[in-house]
Amino acid sequence: MREQVAAEPIPPSLTQEELPNFDTFWLGLGAWLKKKKQIRHWSICNSYFDREFEASYDPHRDVVKVVDIKLRKRSFQVMYENWHQYVGRKISRRELCSKDFFTGYTISIMKEYFDYFASIQGLALPKYVAAPTSKKPLPRPLKQPDQKVA
């Protein structure tokens, strides 16, 4: 069993260089997920999806449990190292998925974790880069079939 250490919350507004080391983040995340949390699926492009999932930390195995999946520390480390690039739209979700299959879950969990601590510390929630608007014209309305006169 791991040594219990008090973890400092991680403000989401910190730059990549200001973030504490990953082990400090992992301890904080484990403490936050000690009780099951409802997590909303989130992505930088689509904001919140309409699905939710439960996540909790298992200290005996040092993993985060989601449904029937056990997310290892390494999955979170990949996302942690790329968080600012992701929210700054410098790396895509697809690229992250090529590094770790479970980034959909880790992205959503980290977003909720960062926002939770920002709110309890009275910090402004981070302003994520807005999705680019499409310059494609809207599709034309479908033609209505000619109505027959009786």
Burial class from Cβ neighbours inside 10 Å (0-12, 13-18, 19+) for residue 25 reads buried
**Residue holding tokens 């880069």?**
129
Residue 12 near residue 118 (C-beta atoms within 8 A):
yes
- Could you read off the pLDDT of 14-53 as tens digits, one per residue? 566 666 788 988 999 999 999 999 998 887 777 777 688 9
- Could you read off the pLDDT of 75-129 as tens digits, one per residue? 999 999 988 888 888 888 888 888 888 888 999 999 888 888 777 766 665 555 4
What pLDDT does 126 receive? 58
Name the pLDDT band for 136 (thresholds 50, 70, 90): very low
